[in-house]
Amino acid sequence: MKRAIFPGSFDPLTLGHTDIINRGITLFDEVIIAIGINAEKNYMFTLEQRMHFITEAFKNEPKIKVMTYKGLTVDFCKEVDAHFILRGLRNPGDFEFEKAIAHTNRKLSEIETVFLLTSSGKSYISSSIVRDVIRNNGDYTSLVPDTVRVS
């Protein structure tokens, strides 16, 4: 089975994420959306909210699993028997950052990183931009799936 993990904080899940995930499931038998837990990070949404946003967005897709993990991504890959890490690239800055991580992961393990370019109409969307829009009471709904709603 070709299993990939798509790691991130997903704070919150965006249409950029869903673009990469939907295209990733055409390449892999299973994609595990892996929510990294970092106690030192200050999240806008709780882990439970983030899991809900994701599980609801993909509830009708049997090739998707949602899990959480702590520690190194490559260790989690080994734990779940995933041989691929799926990552999205929006711009050259993303490429340079992700390339360094991919090289490090490859040095630590036999895990391959697969990069997909975010669709052009979604390449400007990032979780940090969405959080800023939400903090400033802007209309964030065109940037996230319908499952992401702030009360």
| Catalytic site includes residue 119 | no
Q: Which fold does the domain 3-135 belong to in CATH?
A: Rossmann fold (3.40.50)
Task: Give the active site residue among 2, 127, 131, 135.
Answer: 127
> 59-83, pLDDT tens digit by residue?
999 999 999 999 999 999 999 999 9
| Catalytic site includes residue 90 | yes
| pTM for this prediction | 0.93
| Catalytic site includes residue 41 | yes
| Catalytic site includes residue 103 | no
pLDDT of 93 reads 82
Tokens of 131: 């959080």
> 83-127, pLDDT tens digit by residue?
999 999 988 888 999 999 999 999 999 899 999 999 888 989 999
Q: Which residues contact 151 (CB under 8 A, 6 or more apart)?
A: none
pLDDT of 11 reads 97
Q: Categorize the per-residue pLDDT at 40 as very low, low, confident or very high, splitting at 50, 70 and 90.
A: confident
- Cα of first residue to Cα of last residue in the chain, in angstroms, is 40
